[in-house]
């Protein structure tokens, strides 16, 4: 009844209490894990996922390696840009953190004195996830899944309303997708220049292909020996 009195008919506040209420019933150690995962763990995991995708793309090589790496470069750039766009939005909306206006929340992270809408963590992780999806579908789906988990953690920790998280998802997705064509038009020529550089080409392609041979598309690579069939021809 107390929760209903606090939330009234507002589904945003009601869902906040429902999700944050899980923290009250969870063991103390689990709350500490969720605190670390939601504050630091998932953003770090997203960065590692981007690096893993880059390693996979350069190892695979192929004609589209430069454009794939360009898309991977765009992912963190999109995340940073989305967070910058969020600064004036938060200042304009000026929505207090949920624990300021609502009693009975189990707040797992102290010291949050800035505004609530929209969530920086949700914006950052979703922009990275969508940027990854542009570069590589499988890694992108994993990144989007991590971003959704990040959004849940922010509400679970009592530091954001659900709509703060949804707004962050929308902002991160919009920046990553809408500016992607322009970013690719600017970044792909740069990655192709790097690809042709004898010293920096390893950033785009591995020096050896997945079968262990020298990558023939890498500058300075040894040409593969001709087979008997080729010599006979």
Greater pLDDT, 42 or 65: 42
> In the Cβ-directed half-sphere of 50, how many Cα atoms lie within 13 Å?
26
Please name the helix (run of DSSP H) or strand (run of DSSP E) that holds residue 163, with its range, or none: helix 162-178
Task: Identify the burial level of 80 via C-beta atoms within 10 angstroms of its C-beta, where 0-12 means exposed, 13-18 middle and 19 or more buried.
Answer: middle
pLDDT confidence tier of residue 209, bands split at 50, 70 and 90? low
Superfamily of domain 28-186: Phosphatidic acid phosphatase type 2/haloperoxidase (1.20.144.10)
Give SS3 for 106: coil
% pLDDT > 90, the chain: 52
Phi, psi of 226 (to 5 degrees): -75, 140
DSSP state, residue 221 = P
- Kindly report the pTM of this predicted structure: 0.82
CA angle 133, 139, 141 (to 5 degrees): 65
pLDDT of 227 reads: 47
């Amino acid at each position: 009844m107390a929760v209903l009195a606090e939330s009234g008919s507002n589904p945003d506040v009601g869902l906040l209490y429902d999700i944050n209420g899980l923290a009250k019933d969870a063991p103390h150690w689990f709350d500490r894990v969720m605190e670390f995962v939601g504050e630091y763990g998932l953003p770090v995991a997203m960065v590692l996922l981007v690096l893993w995708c880059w390693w996979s793309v350069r190892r695979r090589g192929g004609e589209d390696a430069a454009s794939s790496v360009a898309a991977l470069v765009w992912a963190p750039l999109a995340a940073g840009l989305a967070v910058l766009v969020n600064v004036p939005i938060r200042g304009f909306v000026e929505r207090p953190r949920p624990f300021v206006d609502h009693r009975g929340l189990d707040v797992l992270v102290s010291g949050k004195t800035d505004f609530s809408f929209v969530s920086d963590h949700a914006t950052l992780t979703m922009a990275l996830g969508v940027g990854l999806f542009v570069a590589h579908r499988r890694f992108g789906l994993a990144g989007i899944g991590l971003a959704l988990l990040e959004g849940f953690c922010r509400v679970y920790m009592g530091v954001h309303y659900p709509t703060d998280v949804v707004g962050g998802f929308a902002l991160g997705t919009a920046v990553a997708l809408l500016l992607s064509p322009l970013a690719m038009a600017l970044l792909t020529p740069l990655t192709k220049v790097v690809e042709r550089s004898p010293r920096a080409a390893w950033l785009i392609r591995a020096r050896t292909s997945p079968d262990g041979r020298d990558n023939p598309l890498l500058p300075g690579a040894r040409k593969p020996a001709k087979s008997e069939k080729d010599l006979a021809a």
